[in-house]
Amino acid sequence: MLFAEVILPLPLHERFTYQIPEPLQDKVKPGMRVVVQFGKKKNYSALITAITSSHTSDFVIKPIDALLDDEPVIKQVNLDLWNWILDYYMCSIGEVMNAALPSAMKLEGRDGIMEEKYHAKTQTIVCINPEIAQPEKWEQVLAEISKAPKQRDLLIQFAHITNLFFEDKIPQLERKAFLKTTGSNEGVLNQLIKKKYLIARTEVVSRLETHNSIQTGMNLLNEWQELALSQIRSAFEKWATVLIHGVTASGKTEIYIHLMEEVCRAGRQVLYLVPEIALTSQIVARLKKVFGNKVGVYHSKMNDAERVEIWNKVLQFEPGQNKGYQVILGARSAIFLPFSSLGLIVVDEEHENSYKQHDPAPRYHARDTAVVLGQQHNAKVLLGSATPSFETYHNALNGKYGMVKLAKRHGVAKMPQVVVADIQYAFKRKQMKSMLTPELHKSIGETLESGHQVILFQNRRGYSPYIECMDCGWIPWCVNCDVSMTLHKKHRRLSCHYCGHHIAEPLQCIRCGSASLKTRGMGTEKVEDELYKLFPSARLTRMDFDSTQSKKAFERIIHQMETRKIDILIGTQMVTKGLDIEHVGLVGVLNADNLLNFPEFRAHERAFQLIHQVSGRSGRKEVEGKVIIQTSQPLHPVIEHLKKDDYEGFFNHHIFERKAFFYPPWSRMIKITVKHKYPAQLDSSSMELGRLLRANKSYRVLGPEYPLVGRVQQFHIKEFWLKIPRSQNLQEIKENILHNTETIRKLPGNSALIIQIDVDPV
Ligand code: ADP
Ligand code: ZN
Ligand code: ZN
């Protein structure tokens, strides 16, 4: 008897045992998917992790129903990463499986009925029967069908289109395209197939776009880049992980490409992580020029079937053979692809928060996971940023990571001039033009006049964050969450950005009936409206969550920016990251106060990074760059350091604040979130959890406290923040936490209580 230990795609910690039926015994291997029954009449696709000849399960052992794969879809080294994630991020193996596999590889069914969600895309190919593809035979065939002139014509057309007698290969055409170009009908074609003059067959085609860009090779590095590259090489001899701290537009991407090329030549794979899918289209174009069709792209805007095809192409890769993907450019979930031999992982813009998955579990950080992935493959890991995260910079200063600096922009490009514009000062003197200070208003005008482009950054989407009744003070509030509803004028509705609930825009106050409702604050939609009025001849485009719902939206907007079809680009965080547009001469930050005043220990670090990054979009080539930061706190330390373009000064100033309050990187943090629909039940359970946690003296406990938004989707929320000294045994502490949360879950009345654990929250 043989048994398979499997993982189910359910949030469960256990692995389950099934019996392998006789006919499957010499076919199954670890890493293959099988269909099993679990629970009452429910079927799932499970993943085999081990095959054994005995088992220790207490349950009745059911047989495997079916085998789904001919070859393993995942390797042991990939499962090693799953195991690390479930331990480190305190989640279940089923949750890791759910995050790792594309959803079309996970099936669910009832009563033994399961349908494969992934189907290969096929097309029908028509080719000429080789037997008639010789001149004498051909004449004979044409004579044979002279009584069917339509068939005869179509056959002649086929010969004509395919250049039949001038090519060595047996020519073929795609059936639909052939019918379309010839304007012929299916019946005629089918007759030719029936008479065996033409042969039809079905073949599998890829859904993935193949860019046929010309491979032009790599750019020559400039003197400073060359130096940085050799410093990185020697740092890699000492450290597995190296940070490149290079100013914006210094050519970090060029350096990555040179390192990647070396690794490819050595026959190993490369993973290049980017935080935003908005960035992939620009970078992939640069990679294709060097690596051609060895490059694959993997991110969340791809559909299920495309993801499976990419998965398979990574699996197919073998050194020295021209198949499969050797280089993957991807967003965070690309760390789960079935690599067999990574040689290099690049984490671009390593400071970005979008590397962290918030919901659902596993709440992993792709940068930190990449460092572990690198160890598992014995690969080098290169982290790149102009504004490194405090954690990474701290690690570099401590000697845990190597560090290389690149302080100069490429070519003639200089760092942009940074101007701080005081909103309050202008407001008091009635000099504001809508949301623009005189400085920004004038600069936009000048930039447009000289034919250059403008990027404006506002970190709120929608028209205005809330509306208010001028007579009674009523503010529309979400029914499910403790948050005001945002006005989206284009759709004439108020919507909640936490739960998606929306209502029609009210025309009068619901409480007192007054018609004087006023919009408060401003989102990107309002900025767009106001700029239309101020610069009526400028071509404006908005880039935010709402304007980029379609798959191609990013590519379209970036292409329009590159070809100068847009004069002013207005956007949320999306415009701050990595964009490399030659003719941007001005970047405006409309309101830095929103970022500075956020009640969170990382707020200042994040504000510095965001504003510095968006500034970096300006003056990247010949055009001289300018940045205007609007704020009512011009003397704020973050603003002061931004003005001087002084990352080190900023880091040194703030790292001591972190130390004084024992925040990361000085401590480790774990956040525990407790949720319940009834506030009383939440209160008593979280008080009790607090008591249990505080009994352990090896870490400090903050909370339970209501977060900024204390109710979301009808759940009341309380949070704990645990600060753990780096000297403590993290594993023991995690076990203690799990023990305590389990105790609370089992208390009476707590079956509907939700407890979420977030290790290294950001
Ligand atoms: P970073 O990643 O540091 O922000 P990029 O690699 O995007 O910088 O470089 C900024 C711009 O300068 C890009 O358009 C890039 O193509 C160009 N560039 C940088 N280095 C070189 C080089 N050695 N040769 C040609 N162009 C370069
Ligand atoms: Zn009112
Ligand atoms: Zn809501």
DSSP string, 585-602: EEEEES-THHHHT-SSTT
Nearest protein CA to atom 5 of ligand 1, as residue: 251
| 471 C-alpha to ligand 2 centroid (Å) | 5
Q: Count of CB atoms within 10 A of residue 520's CB?
A: 13
Rg (CA), the chain: 30
What pLDDT score was predicted for residue 71?
Answer: 95
Are the C-beta atoms of 319 and 342 separated by less than 8 Å?
no
Nearest protein Cα to ligand 1, atom 4 = 249
Q: Whose CA is nearest to atom 6 of ligand 1?
A: 251
Whether 43 contacts 109, CB under 8 Å: yes
* Amino acid occupying residue 676: H
pTM (two decimals): 0.89
CA of 410 to the centre of ligand 1 (A): 6
φ and ψ at 625, to 5 degrees?
-100, 150
**Rounded CA separation 247/407 (Å):** 6
> For residue 386, which atom of ligand 1 is closest to its CA?
3
> How much is the pLDDT for 400?
97
CA-246 nearest atom, ligand 1: 3
* C-alpha to C-alpha distances, 373 to 341, 377, 383, 392, nearest whole angstrom: 11, 6, 13, 17
Q: What is the pLDDT of residue 590?
A: 97
pLDDT of residue 168: 66
- CB 418, CB 615: distance < 8 Å: yes
What does the block give as tokens for 621? 């080539």
Q: Put residue 619 in one of left, alpha, beta given phi > 0 → left and psi -120 to 50 → alpha.
A: left
Q: Which ligand is nearest to the CA of 506?
A: 2
Cα separation, 98 vs 121, in Å, equals 24
Angle at 338 between CA 21 and CA 293, to 5 degrees: 130
**Spatial CB neighbours of 522, under 8 Å, sequence gap ≥ 6:** 435, 458, 460, 463, 464, 465, 530, 590
The ligand placed nearest to the CA atom of residue 279 is 1
Angstrom CA distances, 88 to 411, 501, 657, stand at 44, 35, 27
Q: What pLDDT score does 683 carry?
A: 96
Angle between helices 93-100 and 76-88 (to 10 degrees): 120
Atom 19, ligand 1: residue with shortest CA distance: 251
CA of 468 from ligand 2 middle (Å) equals: 8
Structure-token pair, residue 169: 């290969």
What span, in angstroms and rounded, lies between the C-alpha atoms of 346 and 358?
22
> Mapping DSSP to helix (H, G, I), strand (E, B) and coil, where does residue 302 land?
coil
| Tokens (6 digits) for 446 | 């000048």
Ligand 2 centre from 484 Cα, in Å?
Answer: 15
Q: Which ligand is nearest to the CA of 501?
A: 3
CA–CA distance, 694 with 444 (Å, rounded to integer): 56
CA within 13 Å, CB half, 723: 15
Question: 87: how many CB neighbours lie within 10 A of its CB?
Answer: 11
Q: How far is the CA of 497 from the centre of ligand 3 (A)?
A: 7
Residues with CB under 6 A from ligand 1: 219-222, 225, 246, 248-254, 410, 580, 620
The number of the ligand nearest the C-alpha atom of 612 reads 1
Residues 319, 344 contacting (CB under 8 angstroms) = no
pLDDT in the model for residue 282: 85
pLDDT at residue number 210:
66
* Block mean pLDDT (10 aa), the chain, length 762: 93 92 94 91 91 85 93 96 97 95 85 71 86 83 88 87 74 85 88 90 79 78 96 98 95 96 96 85 90 91 89 93 92 96 97 94 98 98 97 97 95 90 96 96 96 95 94 94 94 94 94 94 95 96 91 88 96 86 94 90 94 89 91 96 94 93 96 96 96 96 94 96 96 96 93 96 94
Please tell me the number of Cα atoms within 13 Å of 341 on its side-chain side: 10
Enumerate the β-bridge partners of residue 63. 19
